[in-house]
């Protein structure tokens, strides 16, 4: 599992906050994710304005769309 947040998102504190939120969203739902693939989450512009619940729902939506939720 990898997380990539570019410099375009913001300064280091903002990028680290985004990575922490992404990691937590995945950690809490890790038991639902199929472990047959390596995943990389690439944060896009605008994610720094989302709250944790929005990030978590987007992560779950993308995993369902990719058929990676058990």
pLDDT surpasses 90 at 6: yes
Asked whether 39 and 67 are in contact (CB, 8 A), the reply is: no
In this predicted structure, what is the pLDDT of residue 17?
97
What class is the 2-65 domain?
Answer: alpha beta
Asked whether 34 and 1 are in contact (CB, 8 A), the reply is: no
How would residue 36 be classed by pLDDT, with cut points 50, 70 and 90? Answer: confident
Mean pLDDT of the chain: 94
Place of tokens 């058990």: 70
């Amino acid at each position: 599992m990898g997380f990539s947040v570019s410099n375009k998102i913001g300064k280091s504190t903002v990028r680290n906050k985004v990575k922490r939120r992404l990691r937590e969203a995945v950690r809490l739902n890790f038991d639902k994710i199929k472990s047959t693939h390596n995943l990389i989450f690439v944060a896009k512009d605008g994610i720094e304005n989302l709250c944790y619940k929005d990030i978590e729902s987007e992560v779950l939506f993308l995993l369902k769309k990719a058929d990676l939720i058990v």
